[in-house]
Every structure is written in structure tokens, then in C-alpha cells.
Amino acid sequence: MEIVWLSKGKPKTLIYKEKEYRSGISKAQVNTLDVHKTIISGDDVENHEYHGGVDRVICVYPYEHYQFWEKTYQTSLPKAAFGENMTVSRMTEEIVCVGDMYQIGETILQVSQGRFPCSTINKHTNIPTLLARIVEKGYTGYFFRVVKEGRISENDRIHLIEKHPFQLSIAKIHHTYFHDKQNLKLMEKMILLDELSKEWKDRVKKLYSQQQQIK
């Protein structure tokens, strides 16, 4: 497991199809991240209702997916194309589970949820079908909450401190929510997973209730 890039950035005005929009998705590469309980110094989101907060301090994206997307769309993607703070290798959604604990540099971090991507990713990359393909493939990335604050440097090693016993991977949760909506047993397990963020837990509870009514 390795850090490939670290990135951060404040919200700014961007342009898509000659129209302006505000977003924090555009990040610049940095050598270090100063990580606090609720935010990274020098980093922020535009819409605090749907982004950011204690469960979504560090956005992570697996480096392996870049090759897939570039081959799929026959294009080159910039670094941090998905608006992530940390681009990592050997930590895909199939491997990483909600509740897993990592030490990276001075910080201790816990996986809180998969990313719930929005259409801004289409605008930022200028690929109109990317969001739909991300949902289809489950190549969403994920978030860390901060257990211990500190500095992360680009050369820091990533140590898995503790694997959560539920072993509910980001990929499994995503697949259940988007593509296997009748799997009530797995949804029950997700609802019991204390480490799953409130946002995702609320989504799962709502879906679970809807599916029970259908049955």
C-alpha cells in the first residue's frame, strides 16, 4: 500500500460548456497534508450539505482505476482527476472495508463510507458518461474519518492497524445499494455497522424499508 499523490484545494469557479459552476473538486498536488478532525488545512468543499464533515475528511481514490478510465475513454486524466486528497495503490474498493483503521504518517484514520459520486465529476473531466460508469463499476473511491490528527507526507508508509470484523468492503456496500437491492440480509448487517457514516446508514435504512414493503 502506497501513497501515489497528495492533493488539496479550496473551492473555485470552474467552467463547463461555457457555464460557470463552483466546486472544490479541482485539487493541486502537495507534499504534505495537515489533517484535523473535521478538515484538511488548505482544503474545503463548496457545498457543506452534501460534502465534507467529520465522516468525510479525506477523500481517497485508487490509482489502479486511472489506467482503466484512460483506456476506456482513450484520454489522459490529470492527477487527482476525481477530486481526491489521497491517491493510493493496492487499496481498491474490494480490499478496503468500512471500519478498517490505518496509520499514515502522524495520523490514525478509519474508513467511514464509500463515495457517493455526483455529476460534478462529469464536468470536471469533460466526460459526460463517467458518473454512470463509476456507479456501474463501483470505482467510487472512499473516505476516511480522523481518529488522530497530524501530518501526512507523500513518502509516508500506510499501515493497516486493524481490519474490521464485519469485513464489509466498500465494493460490497456499493454493489448492494445500487445493484442488489433485494439483499435484505446484507443491508441488515450494514445497518448494524456502527462505523458506517450516518449518511450512508440513512440511505441503507430507507432502501431497506422500501424493499420490505415490496416483499
* Strand ranges in 65-178 using DSSP code E only, listed in sequence order: 86-89, 101-104, 107-114, 142-148, 150-153, 158-162
Domain 2-164 has CATH 2.40.33.20: yes
Q: Where are the domains of the chain?
A: 2-164
Give the chain's largest Cα–Cα span: 52
**What's the predicted TM-score (pTM) here?**
0.93
pLDDT digits (tens, 9 = 90+) for 13-70: 877 777 887 777 889 999 999 999 999 999 877 666 666 689 999 999 999 999 999 9
- Residue 179 CB coordination number (10 Å): 11
pLDDT digits (tens, 9 = 90+) for 171-204: 999 999 999 999 999 999 999 999 999 999 999 9
pLDDT digits (tens, 9 = 90+) for 108-127: 999 999 998 888 889 889 89
Cross-strand pairs, 113: 143
Residue 25 is predicted with a pLDDT of 83
- Residue 190 CB coordination number (10 Å): 24
